[in-house]
């Protein structure tokens, strides 16, 4: 079964329901459930244990992992979602780690990594980041580059990810990891093309047991995006196959 969670503001809610009909038209759905909630703290009691979820605002993933409590998580996302100020779509992973709904996490292919204000902390414990582009961080008195998709082969990043997380993972794919022309999510997009995203997801499927997955940040922009529709259908088909 596939659970659809039209969570968040109206564009996210409408986007998820549109995605449901798009997947039905492409004959990719046999059985599905729609779960609605205006508050993330209510999701745990409403969603089932499922294999696949399609959600609006990425904050809904917090409710899913609160329910499933996977040991390890991979997030493919243009953002790290590790802000540590208050719980929202930009901090859900930080609070999932802090509350031990997830023991360890890896974020793949982000481009936006820094806090938005000087008062905002960035959660760094029990998580590794492999950016889309070359990025550096201060370690003691020196700057060191993150292992990243721009300069490091995918095989090496997958090896490091598996070494850190083990063989079983929950997978969340934020569709804003794609470049702006795909027009699926509402906010800033990432640096990946669809083929690059599919290559990463295929690499994850080959090396890990995916206990469950979600596709997040689907908005109503997808209605007017040929590339966005194609991306959603292909990502869903790959992960369900």
Counting the structural domains of the chain, the total is: 1
d(CA 204, CA 3): 22
pLDDT at res. 114: 60
Residue 46's domain spans which residues? Answer: 2-240
For residue 115, the model assigns a pLDDT of: 54
Structure tokens at 92: 């859900």
pTM for the predicted model, two decimal places = 0.94
- Kindly give the confidence (pLDDT) of every residue in the chain, 241 residues in length, as a single tens digit, with 9 standing for 90 and above: 999 999 999 999 999 999 999 999 999 999 999 999 999 999 999 999 999 999 999 999 999 999 999 999 999 999 999 988 889 999 999 999 999 999 999 999 999 766 555 667 888 899 999 999 877 666 667 767 788 999 999 999 999 999 999 999 999 999 999 999 999 988 789 999 999 999 999 999 999 999 999 999 999 999 999 999 999 999 999 999 9
Q: Look at residue 137 in the predicted model and tell me its pLDDT.
A: 66
pLDDT on residue 81: 94
Q: Strands 83-84 and 121-122: what pairing?
A: antiparallel
**Token pair of 218, please?**
């689907």
**CATH, residue 196:** 3.40.800.10
* DSSP line for the chain: -EEEE--SSHHHHHHHHHHHHHHHHTT--SSEEE---SSGGGHHHHS---SEEEESSTTHHHHHHHHH--SEEEEE-SB---EESSSSTTTHHHHHHHTTSSSEEEEES-SB-S-SSTT-EE--TTEEEE-SS--EEEETTEEEEPP-TTTS-HHHHHHHHHHHH-SEEEEEEEGGGB-GGG--SSS---SB-HHHHHHHHHHHHHHSEEEEEEEE---GGGGG-HHHHHHHHHHHHHHH-
User: Residue 196: what pLDDT?
Assistant: 97
pLDDT value of position 110: 94
């Amino acid at each position: 079964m596939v659970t659809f969670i039209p969570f968040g503001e109206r564009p996210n809610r409408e986007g998820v329901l549109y995605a449901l009909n798009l997947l039905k038209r492409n004959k990719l759905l046999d059985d599905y459930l729609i779960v609605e909630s205006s508050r993330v703290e209510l999701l745990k009691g409403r969603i089932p244990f499922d294999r696949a979820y399609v959600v609006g605002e990425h904050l809904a993933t917090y409710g899913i992992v609160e329910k499933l409590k996977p040991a390890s998580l991979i997030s493919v996302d243009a953002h790290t979602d590790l802000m540590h100020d208050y719980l929202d779509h930009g901090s859900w992973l930080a609070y999932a780690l802090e509350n031990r709904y997830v023991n360890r996490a890896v974020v793949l292919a982000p481009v936006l990594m820094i806090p938005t204000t000087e008062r905002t902390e960035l959660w760094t414990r029990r998580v590794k980041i492999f950016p889309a582009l070359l990025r550096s961080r201060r370690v003691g008195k020196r700057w060191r580059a993150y292992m990243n998709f721009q300069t490091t082969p995918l095989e090496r990043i997958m090896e490091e990810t598996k070494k850190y997380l083990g063989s079983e993972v929950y997978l969340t794919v934020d569709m804003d990891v794609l470049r702006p022309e795909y027009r699926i999510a509402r906010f800033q997009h990432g640096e990946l093309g669809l083929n690059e995203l599919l290559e990463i997801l295929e690499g994850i499927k080959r090396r890990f047991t995916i206990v469950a997955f979600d596709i997040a940040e689907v908005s109503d922009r997808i209605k007017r995006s040929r590339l966005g529709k194609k991306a959603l259908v292909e990502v869903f088909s790959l992960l369900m196959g």
